[in-house]
Amino acid sequence: MNEDLQALINLADEEITRLSYEDAYAYLQRVLAALESGELPLESSLKMYEVGSRLAAYCAKTLEKAELQVQRWQEGSSTTVFDGWRGDELTG
């Protein structure tokens, strides 16, 4: 396993919480790519899955905080539903 993947496996919770959303999401994408490759040994795959779960939880929490902030900015504390905003509409 290369050093880059080993560094991902060793990401501590404190390191994850210091990441920007964009960096955490990029790490999550790398974790998913490594898992989908099928080239990792079982033990490494399990560790990578654990890190991916923590990154996904952090990203979800960060997005939730952003949504709450937007909600506070909108009149009457109502939110606009963001479902479907995936960028697919822009390219397709």
Which residue matches tokens 């937007």? 70
Residue 82, pLDDT score: 61
- Distance between CA atoms of residues 70 and 54, nearest Å: 24
Residue 32, pLDDT score: 95
Residue 58, pLDDT score: 95
Joined tokens for residue 25: 């999401």
HEC readout, the chain:
CCHHHHHHHCCCHHHHHCCCHHHHHHHHHHHHHHHHHCCCCHHHHHHHHHHHHHHHHHHHHHHHHHHHHHHHHCHHHCCCCCCCCCCHHHHC
Q: What are the per-10-residue average pLDDT scores of the chain (92 residues)?
A: 84 92 95 94 94 95 88 66 55 46
Residue 33, pLDDT score: 95
